[in-house]
Chains A and B, each alone.
Chain A
Amino acid sequence: AQKITQTQPGMFVQEKEAVTLDCTYDTSDQSYGLFWYKQPSSGEMIFLIYQGSYDEQNATEGRYSLNFQKARKSANLVISASQLGDSAMYFCAMREVGGGADGLTFGKGTHLIIQP
């Protein structure tokens, strides 16, 4: 079973609109971290936002916020007021602290295209 599921292979959004990118995860650990990364066509993975499993408040970083619903095991990324430069691949990732594994498990990504 996939540990990270991103169900939207691609999305087209009008500039200045808000965008929600879906991510669901599967883990039996109580302690874990959830991450979102942006990958432009240049290839570099850019860290956007982090949510810990014990964090009670949803994480926010500028125009990025993470809609964390623990019971549903979802960690959707919300981008407010989208910009042309937001066009990129977006990856959701998880690190399971309890299992001792320190590598991140990534989803397959969502290709976001912002249209003018």
Chain B
Amino acid sequence: DTGVSQDPRHKITKRGQNVTFRCDPISEHNRLYWYRQTLGQGPEFLTYFQNEAQLEKSRLLSDRFSAERPKGSFSTLEIQRTEQGDSAMYLCASSPTRDNTDTQYFGPGTRLTVL
């Protein structure tokens, strides 16, 4: 089985630049989630999709953040006008159609450093 993949694994950018991350979920998983993890903390939920529909967004997702899942397969997370506070690990997870556990399986993450 192919797990969740994320690209790139690392991104270094200058403050004010835009960045885009990609997530490919496990095939046949129709739910896809984005989380952000800062140093010394657990992941924090950002948003999730069921197929191509974005169903929930955290208040953490400021106007500079946008996520898409246009065909219900891969997803992109874009951060515009990056700030140093955006430096974090961005994790993607996927889960199958709701079952009795709805377990989320995570990708390796994209580590963003904003200089």
Identify the A interface with B (CB < 8 A). 4, 33, 35, 37, 42-47, 50, 52, 91, 93, 95, 101-109
Contacts and interface: CB of A to CB of B under 8 A. Distances in A.
A102 B48 contact: yes
Contacts of B105: 47
B23 interface: no
A106 B43 contact: yes
Interface string B30-71: 010101000011111110100000011010000000000000
Contacts of A33: 101-102
A104 B43 contact: yes
Interface residues on B, range: 20 to 34
Given A42-B108, A103-B48, A47 B43 contact: no
Given A33-B101, A102-B33, A103-B33, 10 more contacts: A35-B103, A43-B89, A43-B109, A44-B108, A47-B106, A52-B101, A91-B43, A103-B56, A106-B42, A109-B42
B111 interface: yes
